[in-house]
Amino acid sequence: MTKLLVAALPLVLGGCVITENARVGSPIHESRSVDLGKFEMARVEVQMGAGELRAAGGASKLLEADFDYNVPAWKPIIESNSASFRADVKIRQPSSGISGGNTDYKWNLRFNNDVPIDFVTHLGAGEAKMDLGSMNLRSVEIHMGVGQLHLDLRGKPKQNYDVQIHGGVGEATVLVPATVGISAEASGGIGDIQVEGLERRNGRWVNSLNASAPVRIRLEIHGGVGNIRLVAE
Contact 186, 164 (CB under 8 A): no
Average pLDDT over residues 144-154: 94
- Residue 165's closest CA among 188, 134, 192? 188
- Residue 115's closest CA among 76, 172, 63, 155? 63
- Per-domain boundaries in the chain: 2-19+27-232
Residue 220 confidence class, pLDDT cut points 50, 70, 90: very high
Left, alpha or beta for 42 (phi > 0: left; psi -120 to 50: alpha)?
beta
pLDDT per position as a tens digit, 89-142: 999 999 755 555 688 999 999 999 999 999 999 999 999 999 999 999 999 999
Choose the weakest-confidence range: 32-46, 61-75, 173-187, 211-225.
211-225
The percentage of the chain sitting over the pLDDT mark of 70, rounded to a whole number, equals 86
Distance CA 202, CA 118 (A): 29
What pLDDT, on the 0 to 100 scale, is given for residue 19? 42
pLDDT per position as a tens digit, 48-91: 998 999 999 999 999 999 999 999 999 999 999 987 799 999 99
Distance CA 82, CA 39 (A): 7
What pLDDT, on the 0 to 100 scale, is given for residue 222? 84
